[in-house]
A and B are shown apart, each in its own frame.
Chain A
Amino acid sequence: MIDRDRSVVDKVILSGALVGGAGLLLPVFIVKEHRLDAGFPVSFAGMSLPLFFSALALLIAIAVVGVLPGLRRRSRNLPAVLAALGLFALLWAGTGISGAAELAEYGFERGRVSPSSGFWIVLLAILIVVTHSVKQSTSVWLRGCVPLAFVATLVVLFVGGVIDDLAFVREYYTREDRFVRELTAHIGIAAGAVAAAVAVGVPTGIVAYRIRSLERPLFAVVNGVQTIPSLALFGLMIAPLALISQRFPVLRELGIRGVGNTPALLALFLYALLPIVRNTYTSLAVMDPAVIHAGTGMGMTRRQLMWQVEVPISLPIILAGVRVSIVQTIGNTTVAALIGAGGLGNFVFQGLGQAAPDLIVMGVIPIVILALLADRIFQLISEWAVPGPKRGTA
């Protein structure tokens, strides 16, 4: 399959390049005098011609990689990924620098630069090219490091002050302390929910496998939870918990209330369960009975069998479930802000309330980065933890 893909034009990469080309013609950012100003748009060409042509050159390079299979086979699409990384840096740095220049030129001291359609479309193009290339790649290195390289680029630009005048960075600087608090809360809530889900989900998966009669009811419950929209589930948690906490003042003093962290953790925990329970169950169901037979026949004790055979064989599948759980929970935690749990979702909903898209973006970007980092780091951990022929040969 991969061979056929490589022998012809890579349509996905090509269309990524075309999307990016279209983005180059649209306004990149809007210069505003103040937060609520409608502002005026600036295009790539308007920013600076060298910048425009560099971006165009990088897009053409990506398109060429998409058309010439020879370039893709040996280096596993690395040229396209590198060009996309260059474009990414160019986009952010260019917007930051020329945005600052525009503000200075017009003397907008409290002004700001809001990325516009061109910015987002080029970003989308980069996303298309990179996810496609990385997905096709068999190299652990590439799959693990490429997303991290993008995050690192952004962090460097941010720390270097290059993108300080971007609207959502401005939003960040006006509420730096709160940001750190909400970020910590976000991580804490998500980690707590996933940790609880692992603690409960793995044994549940084992029980579902071992006790046939419980398999269907258990899966009915965890599957059922997934079908409830997250907002509704958070809502559903409020009433019973409020009731319980009224009945039992002791619990109330422990912080268990209808709103806040408790219902959020509970709901997120329930969501996080399914991938873990399902993968634990699957890891046992697909285990070759011959392996257990052999282990027992060699003279392993029940405990040796568990730690030397069952756990190592099922671990990779369970870890994959935990990874899905983590990424999903980081996203869902955003919604938890609605019932007062805190987290980066607070910025998103505040932004929605004030019709301030910059504030929304400020909340969303770190969530995306968190999810991406968690996903990659976990992927790397599982690949190192799992023995077996290293991928790339398969």
Chain B
Amino acid sequence: MGGTGAEARYSVIEFENVSKHYGSTVALDDVSFTVPDGTVSVLIGPSGCGKSTSLKLVNRLLEPTDGYVRVDGTPVREFPPQILRRGIGYVIQSVGLLPHMTVEENIGLVPKLLGRHKRDRSRRAGELLDLIGLSPDEYRNKYPIQLSGGEAQRVGVARALAADPPILLMDEPFGAVDPLNRETLQQEFISIQRKLRKTVIFVTHDLDEAVRVADRIVLMRDGKVVQTGAPEEILGAPANDFVREFVGSDRALKRLARFIVGDFMIDAPSVDRGARLDWNEYRDFEVVYVTDDHRRLLGAAPRNGRAEVSSAGDAMDDALVGAVSLGSTLRDALAEILNTELAETPVVDEHGHLVGRITMTEIYSATPRRIV
């Protein structure tokens, strides 16, 4: 605990037979799961199943009725609550920015409680604003009422990260954002997490979000854990009818979102724009990609039953320019394939260079099937 960069960042969170009763309401019933060091576990389940309650048990906003919550093997009840909380980043469900403080002061809240100097807090706020994609110059001195819902949620995340805690508890951190911005925020979260390697419990009731950000999913219902596992496991092998129904009939599709194009793509045939395209050389291909001098993708030349030789530039159909990037998911690739008239999609890197292609065969290879 504590969390300055020099310390060992080993931080496992364990729930061991945890129950929580509110009077006669049983919010959690014998819950056990482990969040390994540096990974993201997503708590997901219908409203009221006990997700927020679980988070609050970790930072002692609530005490369990029964069982243990441990951090690095030590029961949290052995830490003084204030000390514990300052070492755990907490993004609350309703954002909760303090209205009388600027964005910078809000972000600097925990560092201030930890006695950090004002200059350091200010620099840190700048770094974090950059990290969450808000310009520090523009946003530093704004007040929460001057922010949009999505901006406020980003600041909420920045505030949780400010003291660089090894553990993050995020309660529907992107709940108030429209689907489009939500996806952007998820992407940002994934890339931030790749850099920072926090131990994260992330609460959501959006399965797509869970599949995107989770290393492990803890699926809950009525205060009980129904199934835990990697997203592809839960989507690929639902433990019971509830899970099957919860993940939906499009679970195979959702599962595709777990796989990265770069891991599945195959070589793509290509010719330079100025070169001759001799279809005899590409007997096994329905499509040949046309690139410029730097191997940047310009378009696709479909065979369309042709066999003659022509200039690559002339054979190219300008309309067929769609592509997916290396970091996209197979789900994006499938969507792209369905979008074009071709039965495949090219893959490009961040500079637009052609690096491969994905066909339906690769899509199928990622899908568990009894008869192939």
A residues apposed to B, CB below 8 Å = 288, 290-291, 293-301, 304, 309, 312-313, 386-389
Contact = CB atoms under 8 A, between A and B. Distances in A.
A388 B147 CA distance: 13
A300 to B, nearest CB: 7
B223 to A, nearest CB: 21
A298 B61 CA distance: 10
A290 B90 CA distance: 12
B92 A294 contact: yes
B109 A298 contact: yes
Interface in B88-111: 90, 92-102, 109-110
B145 interface: yes
Contact of A290 (B94, B142, B145): B94
B90 A387 contact: no
A298 B113 contact: yes
Interface residues of B, number: 28
Given A294-B92, A304-B113, A389-B145, A299 B98 contact: no
B110 A388 contact: no
Nearest to B105: A387
Contacts of A312: 100
Contacts of B159: 298
Nearest to A296: B61
Interface in B73-101: 81-86, 90, 92-101
Interface centre among B81, B97, B98, B146 (most CB of A within 10 A): B98
Given A297-B85, A389-B145, A288 B96 contact: yes
A298 B90 contact: yes
Contacts, number: 69
B228 interface: no
Interface in B36-94: 59, 61, 81-86, 90, 92-94
A387 B100 contact: yes
Contacts of B95: 290, 294
Contacts of B83: 299
Given A299-B83, A309-B98, A387-B100, 10 more contacts: A288-B94, A290-B94, A294-B96, A295-B96, A295-B98, A296-B61, A297-B92, A387-B101, A388-B143, A389-B143
Contacts of A297: 59, 61, 85, 90, 92, 96
B216 to A, nearest CB: 24
Contacts of B59: 297
DSSP majority for the A interface? helix
Contacts of B99: 288, 291, 313, 388
Contacts of B84: 299
Contacts of A291: 96-99
Contacts of B110: 298-299
19 contacts: A290-B92, A291-B96, A293-B92, A293-B96, A294-B96, A297-B85, A297-B92, A298-B85, A298-B159, A299-B83, A299-B85, A299-B113, A300-B82, A300-B113, A312-B100, A386-B100, A387-B100, A389-B145, A389-B146
* 4 tightest A-B CB contacts, nearest first: A294-B96, A299-B85, A290-B96, A299-B86
Contacts of B101: 387
A389 B103 CA distance: 12
Contacts of A290: 92-96
A298 B142 CA distance: 21
A271 B97 CA distance: 37
Contacts of B81: 299
A290 B52 CA distance: 13
A304 to B, nearest CB: 7
A335 B61 CA distance: 54
Contacts of A295: 96, 98
A135 B146 CA distance: 24
A296 B98 CA distance: 12
B158 to A, nearest CB: 13
Contacts of A309: 98
Contacts of A313: 98-100
Interface in B314-358: none
B111 to A, nearest CB: 10
Contact of A294 (B97, B100, B145): B97
Contacts of B109: 298
B97 to A, nearest CB: 7
A388 B100 CA distance: 6
Contacts of A389: 142-143, 145-146
A101 B265 CA distance: 104
A301 B85 CA distance: 11
Interface centre among B61, B96, B97, B146 (most CB of A within 10 A): B96
A297 to B, nearest CB: 4
A315 to B, nearest CB: 9
A387 B59 CA distance: 30
Interface string B109-152: 11001000000000000000000000000000011011000000
Nearest to A393: B146
Nearest to A302: B82
A300 B101 CA distance: 15
A365 B92 CA distance: 55
B323 to A, nearest CB: 43
A312 B95 CA distance: 19
A296 B110 CA distance: 11
A304 B95 CA distance: 20
Contacts of A387: 100-102, 143
Contacts of B61: 293, 296-297
A389 B90 CA distance: 26
A240 to B, nearest CB: 44
A299 B60 CA distance: 10
Contacts of B113: 298-300, 304
Nearest to A312: B100
B110 to A, nearest CB: 5
A328 to B, nearest CB: 27
